[in-house]
Chain A
Amino acid sequence: MMNMNKILIKLNQVSKVFKVGEENFTALHDVSLEIDSGAFMSFVGPSGSGKTTLLNLIGGLDVPTTGNIYFKEEGLSSMSREQMARYRRENIGFIFQTYNLLPVYSVFENVLFPLLLNGEKEKDVRDRVMDIVTKVGLESQVKKRPSQLSGGQCQRVAIARALVKDPLLILADEPTANLDSKNSLQILELMRELNQQYQAAVVFSTHDEKVTRYVRREVKLEDGKVISDNNNLNGDS
């Protein structure tokens, strides 16, 4: 019996095969690992090592070809599309390399959006949205649209949007790839603070070595396989 009290995500011999033309491409090969609640960790590896595929599978954006993924005690494989959408809506916060903000919405509306999807009324959550926008340092930009913001500011909006619904897990796919060093460090620092404050598990996929200095655990991938899993990298820092 696995200990599900602390384990948030469990992957059991997960493989993912993509069909590319007539060829089959194995993006993930028999990956088994566990992610604890409140984790602050990264999947590291070169391009094509399977980091993003792994995040997509954990986030319920894709389904494994073989193997099982469990969120707490519930298997994702048995979920319908609607149940999967609900799983993402209620439990997962995504942060993307290209921010993926809704272009016609303001900063406030982008952050508010996940709450509206969860059935909240704007008037009830206005303060909560403003609070998180302030935490990511964008209170003065609240009415601006993504096109009026810098890359670093857009990524802060994406972080606020991921955090606002108090998810159990935040999946950040190359969140610093489009940012300069200064902004990257600020974003990583911010995410570490928020991880400690909100207790949401944060999983990065990255090949940015700066991330290694912040995470507590680093899973290295190569050719779709886990080649190392280092815990307690940065202590409690």
Chain B
Amino acid sequence: MNWDIASKNFYRQGMRAFLNVLVTALSIISLIFMLSLLNGFQAQATRNLVTTDVGGGHYRAPGFDILSPTEWEDHTLRTPESLLKLPDGDKAEVLVQQGQLYPNRRLYPVQIRGVSMDQSLLTLPLDNLKNFNAQVGDAIPAVVGVKMARKAHLKKDDLITLKWRDKSGAVDARDIQIVDVGDMINPRIDDGVVWLRLDHLQSMTDRQGEVSWVAVRDYTGPVAGFEFLSIESLMADLLALLRQDRVNSKILWSILMILVCTSVFNTQILNIFKRQKEIGTLMALGMDSKRIVRIFTLEGALAAIWALVVAGLLGIPFFIWFQSIGFDVSHLSEASFPIRETIYPDYQPKEIFYSLVIVFILIIVAAWLPVKKITRLDPTLALRGRAIT
């Protein structure tokens, strides 16, 4: 009978009930959307780093540290035979050297990164470098990323002086020609990086056949003279950032959850406030306050169920539509996340399911808490609508 009364009360409230349901449903949609967008953002950041830089791990010259530019020259080795035998799709040889660029006659320290042109493991916008042969010409062909080009005021076809140190320590300088400004989806390989052909950089530095690391698709076992760095160790800083981001996302989740619950709580408080005469009448008719609490809580539960249904009806088409257009985060190229493109939400069914269960439970609790007030209402004041002021 409680259910009958609660459902009658709920359905016959008409527009008021519908608006309550709609607000809660929109909050649920926001909750799922924000979580999924964050998931998508993190997944793409990880994927971008893997496809543009990390691959499945690096075989590195021991001691090489990307954060110690002054020591890069000290840590290069010839590519071992075992790695050379790998197919082009499974390896990418990379040589990293320190250099100085002189845009507008100002010194601009750069990382000169040479990458083999045969590789197809990493996705890099370096096709224009492939048009040149292994012999270094008058001007060295180079590619820079959009961010680098903007910062150093470079554009395609610019000639600019580059200075570096060769293997024997002699300082050399030549003009480089910007043959392309590439759209790097990973700002970490854009900002301050000048991309050359590997054979050119090896020739310029007198390091024929030498590399700083070889990125591989999969670990192929120990390689003499090289140390293997796994994806986890290469992405340690990003993973730490993402872990922090998960904490932030939990805070965001909690804030959204509080919003959902506040909306339900507020609705119930208003319900009780507006319906105190009705509550007083129920008491006068002999309904005990515990039963009234159960009925109002059931009304809250009904609102929660309908909110989930409406969230599904409105949310699913919205999520599908948004999945097709994505969310432009190109402005994030200034941030430390390796992402500079449109991101797409990543809907995790398990996460959504748990969120909905928690939302549902919290809605019931939020519906029940204010209703508890009813048990303390003075029936005579409730009958006059003055029990809660």
Chain B residue contacts of A161, Cβ below 8 A: 285
What A residues does B12 contact at CB under 8 A? 104-105
**Listed A/B pairs (5) with beta-carbon separation below 8 Å:** A61-B383, A85-B283, A85-B287, A104-B9, A114-B285
Q: A70-100 vs B: 1/0 string, CB under 8 Å?
A: 0000000000011001111110101010101
State whether A90 and B288 are in contact (beta carbons under 8 Å apart), knowing that A104-B9, A104-B13 are contacts in the complex. Answer: no
Q: Find chain B residues with CB under 8 A from A223 CB.
A: none
Given contacts A56-B380, A61-B383, contact A100 B284 (CB under 8 A): yes
* List of A residues within 8 angstroms of B383 by Cβ: 61, 96, 100
How many Å from the CB of B114 to the closest CB on chain A?
A: 77
Give the Cβ gap from B139 to chain A, nearest Cβ, in Å.
84
Q: Judge whether A114 and B284 touch: CB under 8 Å.
A: no
* Contact indicator B380/A117 (Cβ below 8 Å): no
With known contacts A81-B288, A117-B286, A61–B379 Cβ distance under 8 A: yes
**A113 with B285: in contact, given A61-B380, A102-B278, A104-B13 (CB under 8 Å)?**
yes
* Nearest CB on B from A148, distance (A): 13
CB proximity of B122 to chain A, nearest CB, Å: 66
Q: How many residues on the A side are at the interface (Cβ–Cβ under 8 A)?
A: 29
* B270-328, CB < 8 A from A: 277-278, 280-290
A117 adjacent to B287 (CB under 8 Å): yes
Chain B residues with CB under 8 A of A105: 8, 12
Instruction: Determine if A114 and B286 form an interchain contact, defined as CB atoms under 8 angstroms apart.
Output: yes
Q: Are A100 and B380 in contact (CB under 8 A)?
A: no
Q: A61-B380, A100-B280 are in contact. Are A90 and B286 (CB under 8 A)?
A: yes
Q: For the complex, what is the distance from the CA of A119 to the CA of B8, rounded to whole Å? A: 18
Measured CA separation A101–B378 after assembly (Å): 19
Instruction: State whether the Cβ of A33 lies closer than 8 Å to any Cβ in chain B.
Output: no
A61 touches B283 (CB 8 A): yes
Candidate in A61, A82, A85, A103 with the most chain B CB atoms within 10 angstroms: A85
Q: Which 5 A-B pairs have the closest CB atoms?
A: A89-B286, A104-B12, A85-B288, A88-B286, A100-B281
CA distance A47 to B93 in the complex (A): 98
Residues of B within 8 A of A (CB): 1, 8-9, 12-13, 277-278, 280-290, 378-380, 383
Q: In the assembled complex, which residues on chain B have CB atoms less than 8 Å from the CB atom of A88?
A: 283-286
Chain B min CB distance to A73 (Å) = 20
Assembled-state Cα–Cα distance A50/B277 (Å): 21
A149 in the interface (beta carbon within 8 A): no
Known: A61-B380, A96-B383, A104-B13. A81 touches B289 (CB 8 A): yes
Q: Bound state CA distance, A88 and B383, in angstroms?
A: 15
Q: Mark A138-174, 1 if CB is under 8 A from B, else 0.
A: 0000000000000000000000010000000000000
Nearest Cβ distance between residue A106 and chain B, in whole angstroms? 10
| A85 near B1: Cβ-Cβ < 8 Å | no
Chain A residues with Cβ below 8 Å from B283 are: 61, 85, 88
Q: Is the CB of B288 within 8 A of A82?
A: yes
The residue that A102 contacts in the complex, of B1, B281, B290, with Cβ under 8 A, is B281
Task: Report how far A85 CA is from B375 CA in the complex, Å.
Answer: 12
Minimum Cβ distance to chain A for residue B373 (Å): 15
- Given A82-B290, A100-B281, 15 more pairs with CB closer than 8 A: A61-B283, A61-B379, A62-B378, A62-B380, A81-B288, A85-B289, A87-B286, A88-B284, A100-B278, A100-B280, A105-B12, A113-B285, A114-B285, A117-B285, A117-B287
Pick the contact of A104 from B8, B285, B287, B289 — CB < 8 Å?
B8
The CA-CA distance from A218 to B382 in the complex, in Å, is 28
Would you call A125 an interface residue if the criterion is a C-beta within 8 Å of the partner chain's C-beta atoms?
no
Instruction: Report chain B residues within 8 Å CB of A94.
Output: 284-285
Complex CA distance for A2 and B8, rounded to whole angstroms? 47
Question: A89 with B285: in contact, given A56-B380, A61-B379, A96-B383 (CB under 8 Å)?
Answer: yes
Minimal Cβ-Cβ distance residue in A for B378: A62
Query: Which chain A residue shows the least CB distance to B384?
Result: A98
Distance from A172 Cβ to chain B, minimum over Cβ atoms (Å):
12
What A residues does B13 contact at CB under 8 A? 104
A94 CA / B281 CA spacing, docked (Å): 9
Given A61-B380, A117-B287, decide whether A100 and B277 contact each other with a Cβ distance below 8 A.
Answer: yes
- Shortest CB-to-CB span from B73 to chain A, Å, is 83
Known contacts A56-B380, A103-B278, A104-B12; decide if A61 and B285 are in contact (CB<8 Å): no
CA distance A66 to B5 in the complex (A): 38
B380: which A residues are within 8 A, CB to CB?
56, 61-62
Please state if B379 and A62 are interface contacts (CB–CB under 8 Å).
Answer: yes
A109 to B284, CA, bound (A): 17
Max chain A CB contacts within 10 Å: which of B13, B277, B287, B288?
B288
A103 and B14 CA atoms in complex are apart in Å by 12
Query: What residues of chain B lie closer than 8 Å to A87, measured between beta carbons?
Result: 286
Q: Determine whether A116 belongs to the interface, using a CB cutoff of 8 Å to chain B.
A: yes
A9 to chain B, nearest CB (A): 17
A86 contacts B286, CB within 8 Å? yes
Chain A residues 43 to 69 lying within 8 A of chain B, measured CB to CB, are 56, 59, 61-62
Q: How far is the CB of A166 from chain B (nearest CB, A)?
A: 14
Contacts of A101 in B (CB 8 A): 281
B-chain residues with CB within 8 Å of residue A98 when the two chains form the complex: 277
A159 CB, nearest partner CB in chain B, Å: 14
The smallest C-beta distance from B58 to any residue of chain A, in angstroms, reads: 70
A81 to B282, CA, bound (A): 14
Chain A hits for B281, CB < 8 A: 96, 100-102
B379 and A89: CB pair below 8 A?
no
Instruction: List residues of chain B with CB within 8 A of the CB of A118.
Output: 286
List of A residues within 8 angstroms of B289 by Cβ: 81, 85
